[in-house]
Amino acid sequence: MIHAFIFFCLCFFHLVGVLVAESNVMKTVPVTVGDSVTLESIIDIQGYDQIEWRFGTMRIARIKEMNGIYSTDYSDDWKFIGRLQLDNHTGSLTIANIGHEHSGVYKQSIGTKDPAAIYNVTVYHHLPIPDISSYCTQNPLSKCSLLCSVLNVSHVTLSWYKGISVLSSISVSDLSISLSLPLEVGYQDNNTYSCVINNPISNQTKHISDLNWLRSDCNLCFDTTEAVIRLVVTALMGVAAVVAIVVLVYDIKSRTRVERTNISIRHR
């Protein structure tokens, strides 16, 4: 009986724990610099006399109810001046023209109780369009190497695609001055390659089919190979011709000698 009771209690507390944890789950909110974001209230604010929003430990906005009248006030911290809008019907907080300094954890709470809502706001840069350049490599045959690169990025992945399948990728989380990824293309490779940069919010693509100069630049790489191959083939053909002539001359000479010997034998 006592065991059953303990078991019941454990289940009950476990259940309570799950419920509390779920209402406190941190929600990830990715935003691009310059955009606005609204952090939704997850409680009905009617019936509470004070609702507040915190950024880290700093209180940045508050709704107070006094005799049925709701009023809002905001932090005068430089990061938030003129950017916050607290909806005093829903309790949702809007942050306008967001910057990197606004990345962090935001919590909504009722009075001194545990937070009702927790948001992890991460601010991302605008993505640049990748740049593609080409250079020739010899290993040992000529290949045309395409280099896809971007400058000053963080929290991005750069990838080469062949049609819709990923060939290779590279990721950075910290600020990277320059990020690049090479791709080797063979002679007369007419696949539709593209280089894509993406972060959790958006992506930018550069298709190599849009770059006419690239084909002629790559053809220059292959022109060199072709020239080398042609030179080698010509040289080999030359050597073969010389060998053939030598063999032929030797053959004729030795046959003439045999014939002469025969003639001299007959004369005797």
C-alpha to C-alpha distance for 149 and 135, rounded to whole angstroms: 13
Return the residue of 84, 196, 197, 218 that touches ligand NAG, per CB under 6 A: 196
- Choose the stretch contacting ligand NAG; rule: CB under 6 A; options: 55-63, 135-143, 195-203, 240-248: 195-203
Q: Which is nearer to ligand NAG, 202 or 262 (CB)?
A: 202
Q: Which two tokens stand for residue 180?
A: 């690049």
CB 132 within 8 A of CB 215: no
Return the residue of 169, 203, 224, 254 that touches ligand NAG, per CB under 6 A: 203
DSSP-derived secondary structure for 147-162: EEEEEEE-SEEEEEEE
Q: Which two tokens stand for residue 72?
A: 């809002």
CB 83 within 8 A of CB 96: yes
CB 36 within 8 A of CB 96: yes
Determine if residue 87 is left, alpha or beta; phi over 0 gives left, psi from -120 to 50 gives alpha, anything else beta.
Answer: beta
Q: What x-and-dash track marks residues 15-54 binding ligand NAG by CB under 6 A?
A: -------------x--------------------------
As measured in angstroms, the least distance from the Cβ of 28 to ligand NAG is 5
Q: What x-and-dash track marks residues 95-134 binding ligand NAG by CB under 6 A?
A: ----------x--------------x-x------------
Q: Which is nearer to ligand NAG, 192 or 203 (CB)?
A: 203
Return the residue of 198, 206, 219, 225 that touches ligand NAG, per CB under 6 A: 198
Pairing of strands 115-124, 26-32: parallel
Sheet strand arrangement including 131-138? 131-138, 142-153, 176-185
In terms of Cα–Cα distance, which of 78, 73, 55, 54 is closest to 63? 73
Q: Which is nearer to ligand NAG, 154 or 198 (CB)?
A: 198
**Considering CB under 6 A, how many residues would be counted as binding ligand NAG?**
8
96-99-104 Cα angle (round to 5)? 95
Pairing of strands 58-66, 50-55: antiparallel
As measured in angstroms, the least distance from the Cβ of 105 to ligand NAG is 5
Q: Which is nearer to ligand NAG, 74 or 106 (CB)?
A: 106
Q: Which is nearer to ligand NAG, 192 or 202 (CB)?
A: 202
As measured in angstroms, the least distance from the Cβ of 166 to ligand NAG is 8
Q: Which is nearer to ligand NAG, 33 or 242 (CB)?
A: 33
As measured in angstroms, the least distance from the Cβ of 202 to ligand NAG is 6
In terms of Cα–Cα distance, which of 44, 32, 255 is closest to 154? 32
As measured in angstroms, the least distance from the Cβ of 201 to ligand NAG is 9
Q: Which two tokens stand for residue 4?
A: 């059953």
Q: According to CB under 6 A, which residues from 221 to 250 bind ligand NAG?
A: none
As measured in angstroms, the least distance from the Cβ of 42 to ligand NAG is 18
Please tell me the number of Cα atoms within 13 Å of 197 on its side-chain side.
24
Interface residues toward ligand NAG, by CB under 6 A: 28, 105, 120, 122, 196, 198, 202-203
